[in-house]
């Protein structure tokens, strides 16, 4: 693996090159899309991107966990977690990329 991370800057640069907007407009567009996705997730909506996957928020109940080092039981508070489920097309693309 290359270890490279795709950043907001990389996304806005790709929009700049592919779409032809200015660099500032490209950065604003990426921020607007990410902000809209974040807002939808915060309000409990799913974000489904065709051929990519679905982001959703799950409520996890309180439970008792265990410290693996000491064996001591520790309460874990209820919380909301973000989940991502890739589409079948995305799974296939990733799997095909591993066969190089």
pLDDT, residue 2, reads: 60
- In this prediction, residue 97 has a pLDDT band, given cuts at 50, 70 and 90, of confident
Q: Report the predicted TM-score, pTM, of the whole model to 2 decimal places.
A: 0.77
Instruction: Using the Cα atoms of residue 36, residue 38, residue 43 and residue 47 in order, give the sign of their dihedral.
Output: positive
47 close to 37: Cβ distance less than 8 angstroms: yes
| Interval 36-90: pLDDT, tens | 999 999 999 999 999 999 999 999 999 999 999 999 999 999 999 999 999 999 9
């Amino acid at each position: 693996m290359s270890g490279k991370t795709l950043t907001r800057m990389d996304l806005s640069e790709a929009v700049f090159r592919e779409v032809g907007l200015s660099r500032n407009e490209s950065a604003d567009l990426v921020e607007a899309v990410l902000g809209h996705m974040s807002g939808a997730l915060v309000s409990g909506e799913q974000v489904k991107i065709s051929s990519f996957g679905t982001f959703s928020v799950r409520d996890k109940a309180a439970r008792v966990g265990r410290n693996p080092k000491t064996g001591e039981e520790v309460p874990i508070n209820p919380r909301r977690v973000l989940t991502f489920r890739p589409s079948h097309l995305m799974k296939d693309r990733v799997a095909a990329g591993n066969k190089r």
